[in-house]
A = this chain, B = another copy of it.
């Protein structure tokens, strides 16, 4: 009888240890994928192909945006550490180079995010037909926004993001077709026809929003 108690306690501790609470995590440092975005009040919708490099703090983004009755395309390589962005125009092999002032933000669940719930998209009743994800919420002071994000449990990959910028707009993002690693590392290197591009000092220092909407 005396032996049973410590045994039972050990068993409970072991089982408790198997069911860990989800923890904030960082996505793998090299990713390629797509995302669908919707800027709600602005009635802007877009599909984006992205390549993400957390080692060098670079992203390459090719966007198709539908806003008002226009469609704009954009091919942009951002070098956060160097503070510049290249807008690439492959059809005529030209390039513009602008200051880029946003700080690098890795793809991750912030350390102060609040865990909301875990859920299964699809079902685990059939092999390969379910995806275990975690929902988190939080807020950021600068710029002021509240967010709801969903990441996969196993690989810490982004699935959804919902960003509420009070007084401004709401942005919804849906990630898909993610691959860990990149097929061609040259995607993070400005094309050779960008070598001659001079810094456009007449352009206001850009954020991602500026770069994406310059054609409007």
**Which A residues fall within an 8 A CB radius of B?**
33-34, 119-133, 152, 154-155, 157, 159, 175-181
Contact = CB atoms under 8 A, between A and B. Distances in A.
Given A121-B176, A122-B178, 10 more contacts: A121-B159, A122-B131, A122-B133, A123-B152, A123-B155, A123-B178, A123-B180, A125-B179, A129-B131, A129-B152
A121 B123 contact: no
A154 B154 CA distance: 21
Contacts of A120: 176-178
A130 B133 CA distance: 10
B121 A131 contact: yes
A155 B125 contact: yes
A146 to B, nearest CB: 16
B121 A181 contact: no
A207 B131 CA distance: 33
15 contacts: A119-B176, A120-B176, A121-B176, A122-B133, A122-B152, A122-B155, A122-B157, A123-B152, A123-B155, A123-B157, A125-B179, A125-B181, A126-B154, A130-B178, A131-B131
Contacts of A176: 119-121
Of the listed residues A122, A152, A178, the one surrounded by the most CB atoms of chain B closer than 10 A to its CB is: A122
A178 B122 CA distance: 6
A174 to B, nearest CB: 8
A215 B178 CA distance: 44
Contacts of A119: 34, 176-177
Nearest to A133: B122
Contacts of A132: 128
A154 B177 CA distance: 17
A130 B129 contact: no
Contacts of A124: 179
